[in-house]
Amino acid sequence: MTEIFGVPTQALFGQLLIGLINGAFYAMLSLGLAVIFGLLNIINFTHGAQYMVGAFCAWFLLEKWGVGYWWALLLSPLVLGLTGVVIERTMLSRLYKLDHLYGLLLTFGLALIFQGVFTNYYGSSGQPYRLPEEFAGAFNLGFMYLPKYRAWVIVASLLVCLSTWFVIERTKLGSYLRAATENPAVVQAFGINVPRMITLTYGFGVALAAFAGVMAAPIYQVNPQMGANLIIVVFAVVVIGGMGSILGAILTGFGLGIVEGLTKVFYPEASNTVIFVIMVIVLLIKPAGLFGKER
Amino acid sequence: MAIATPAEAQPGDRGIMLATVVLAVALAIAPQVGIYPVFLMKALCFALFACAFNLLIGFGGLLSFGHAMFLGTAGYVCAHAAKEWGWPPEAAILGGTLAAGLLGIIVGLLAIRRQGIYFAMITLALAQMVFFFFLQAPFTHGEDGIQSVPRGKLFGVLDLSNTLVMYYVVLAIFLASFLAIYRIVRSPFGQVLKAIRENEQRAISLGYDAEKYKLIAFILSATLAGLAGATKAIVFQLASLTDVHWTMSGEVVLMTLLGGMGTFFGPVVGAFTIIGLENYLSGFGQWVTVITGAIFVVCVLAFRRGIVGELAAWWQRRRG
């Protein structure tokens, strides 16, 4: 068996793959947070819970109505996005004139409600989600086996992240969005409906979280706590990357996933905390984050 | 801009002193009229925790979403010192409190490098790191926690295994800390802190080192939260992961928000309300989480001044 730095290559690539998968979820979730923060100036604490509900939505569709993975990938973000629109219209929109911290507190409360309701019915045990048949099996890459579904997760998340980046940075709609981030009053004066844009942006961010949830369902088990711990790590990812840049959020997400995977190989005791340690180092060296702008 | 400013709508020094005396007397006779002392001790520990948290958010405008790390760290250090090293309770509580203060210096130095929402996220992330540390460190016994911590004899005289004696010691600790916080807020230091909360740029231009003030406030808050945690460990003879978990950080935010941020009595009222509610609803399992979340939402949307803040505003209006 071949070894690199005294570690069997099989184990190394295995953990790298897990790291890359985790990184895909960090990237999708921190991207959603960054998009929402850009326009609403609110850190969406409910993001983890919405990711969890998105996964549950897929599970419901399959278990109760026999609706498969592909439809879930479309329907779950749609449903969650709609609830996001309702949340924004009825609650968040009342807070824009206040300190941003109230947004954090409100979304924290919503996260507790979602998580409490699902824990109440499903406890803390996981519900398995059957892998769609077309993903059975693995590719043989010569040096390792790559399960088809994991390859799909990496490709799909890259696709979603890059198209989000493209829409925001390279299209007309995106230019409105960026302009409204800079100065909503002026954009409004040009006849663009900024409040509606804000509502749709929140809906889109939530839909992104739900999409990630559906993607996660076959890999991790669907359980009410799946979002709670993840969202704290994603917060650290956001602090490390800084929320100034979309591409930065994507890169930081994947990068930190890989770093975490490597830590599992070389120093497993620290794998839970390595991202937080990196956050401390970044705060010491570049407080605004790797891609952030100093205010 | 500032998160809560009902401090202006508050009674003067005389009113606060009078209310404190009434509160002290009421708490002193409470166990005599049949209120369960263990419940009171739990509520007092959380009230102190919330007051410490309020020092930071209510008077400094800094939202820490990781205050459980100070409560939990002090609890573990105190419990370990009392049980494994055989320290007397006063030394164990002091040790735990100082450990939390030390952690406060480190976390404070890191967290005040960013503001607002980032400050909240950084404290939350650092608290999660501390949580994983205690989860993995062998001396905490993981999920079991440090159990059957001896209460011992305070100063070698007061036997704390007597529940009533323990209760009055907790009450004394709470009242002393409450008055200390009152003194801190009303001191020149507290006034500068408020000025920084209202307008940091202006405070800096007046020559105040805003970072230093924020750091000192953070350390004070962490130390007092630690005192609450260490006392709690002696009272319940237990230090466990619950006290370092992020849900505990959320709970102290809720207590302070519900009672009234930036008011002296708000956190006390909030802590007693929430602990009472949890006691009452303990049979409802996870619905407690849902109700907690709903209280958060209602408070933020309709009730931002909290119970005490609303009462103070009503009183103000009535007097014209």
Closest CA–CA distance from residue B188 to any residue of chain A (Å) = 26
Q: How far apart are CA B162 and CA B158, in angstroms?
A: 9
Query: What pLDDT does B217 receive?
Result: 95
| Neighbouring C-beta atoms of residue B264, cutoff 10 Å | 24
* Residue B170 within any structural domain of the chain: yes
Closest CA–CA distance from residue B81 to any residue of chain A (Å) = 26
Closest CA–CA distance from residue A258 to any residue of chain B (Å) = 19
* Residue B8 within any structural domain of the chain: no
- Structural domain count, chain B: 1
pLDDT at B6 over 60: no
Residues of B whose CB is below 8 A from A288: 114
A180 band by pLDDT with thresholds 50, 70 and 90:
confident
Scan residues 93-122 of A and list those with Cβ closer than 8 Å to B: 94-95, 98-102, 104-106, 108-117, 119-120
Instruction: Please name which of A22, A82, A20, A19 lies closest in space to residue A50, comparing C-alpha atoms.
Output: A82
pTM recorded for the entire structure: 0.89
CA atoms within 13 A on the CB side of B141: 13
Residues of the domain holding B89: 33-245
Phi, psi of B257 (to 5 degrees): -65, -45
Q: State the Cα angle at A46 between A41 and A51, rounded to 5°.
A: 120
Q: Position of tokens 């749609």? A: A78
Residues of B whose CB is below 8 A from A116: 286-293
Instruction: Please name which of B302, B158, B150, B126 lies closest in space to residue B236, comparing C-alpha atoms.
Output: B150
Closest CA–CA distance from residue A276 to any residue of chain B (Å) = 6
Tokens standing for residue B70: 């100070």
What residues contact residue A255 under an 8 Å CB cut-off, 6+ apart? A23
A295 band by pLDDT with thresholds 50, 70 and 90:
very low
Task: Give the amino acid at A162.
Answer: L
Q: Is A83 on the interface with B (CB under 8 A)?
A: no
Burial class (CB in 10 A: 0-12, 13-18, 19+), A6: exposed
* Residue B9 within any structural domain of the chain: no
The reply to whether residue A116 touches residue B289, judged by beta carbons under 8 angstroms, is: yes
* Residue B191 within any structural domain of the chain: yes
Mutate to test the interface with B, among A232, A233, A282 (most CBs of B within 10 A): A232
Q: What is the pLDDT of residues A125-167, one digit of tens each?
A: 888 888 888 888 888 877 778 888 889 999 999 999 999 999 9
| Helix (H/G/I), strand (E/B), else coil: A267 | coil
pLDDT at B172 over 80: yes
Query: What pLDDT does B127 receive?
Result: 93
Q: What is the pLDDT of residues B202-213, one digit of tens each?
A: 999 999 999 999
* Residue B71 within any structural domain of the chain: yes
A292 band by pLDDT with thresholds 50, 70 and 90:
confident
Query: What pLDDT does B11 receive?
Result: 57
CA atoms within 13 A on the CB side of B63: 23
